[in-house]
């Protein structure tokens, strides 16, 4: 089953703030979510339909899966991402 992967406005803003090389690596890694956003290397379920993906050891992508759509809601360094996630949810 193929999933549709989208970046919401907050995640797009997060990517624009990053070094272009890191942002490119994150976008490339997010392409694996098209095949299977629910399980795989670096993917962990956080709560209900919220998951995280590890990119480049220190970077995290948090996304929500609804039906056949994975919406990326946050992109940040591991030291900040979980605090920001608590504020958002």
How many residues are listed for the chain in this entry? 89
Whether residue 77 has pLDDT greater than 80? yes
Angstrom distances, CA of residue 38 to CA of 3, 21, 32, 68, 84: 10, 26, 11, 11, 22
pTM of the model: 0.93
Number of structural domains the chain divides into: 1
Return d(Cα 66, Cα 73) in angstroms, integer: 13
* More confident call, 1 vs 85: 85
Alpha-carbon distance of 43 to 45, in angstroms, equals: 7
For residue 64, the enclosing domain spans 4-88
Inform me whether the pLDDT recorded for 89 exceeds 90: no
Strand order in the sheet with 69-77: 4-7, 69-77, 59-66, 50-55, 43-47
Question: Is 88's pLDDT higher than 90?
Answer: no
Q: Give me the mean pLDDT over the 66-72 stretch.
A: 96
Quick one: average pLDDT of 1-22? 95
| H/E segment holding residue 32 | none
Section 29-41 average pLDDT: 94
* CATH of residue 44: 3.30.2310.20
């Amino acid at each position: 089953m193929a999933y549709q992967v989208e970046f919401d406005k907050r995640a797009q803003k997060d990517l624009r703030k990053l070094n272009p090389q890191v942002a490119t690596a994150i976008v490339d890694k997010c392409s694996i979510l098209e095949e299977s956003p629910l399980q795989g290397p670096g993917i962990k379920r956080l709560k209900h339909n919220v998951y995280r993906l590890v990119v480049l050891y220190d970077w995290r992508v948090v996304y929500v899966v609804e039906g056949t759509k994975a919406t990326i809601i946050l992109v940040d360094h591991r030291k900040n991402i979980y605090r920001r996630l608590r504020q958002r949810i």
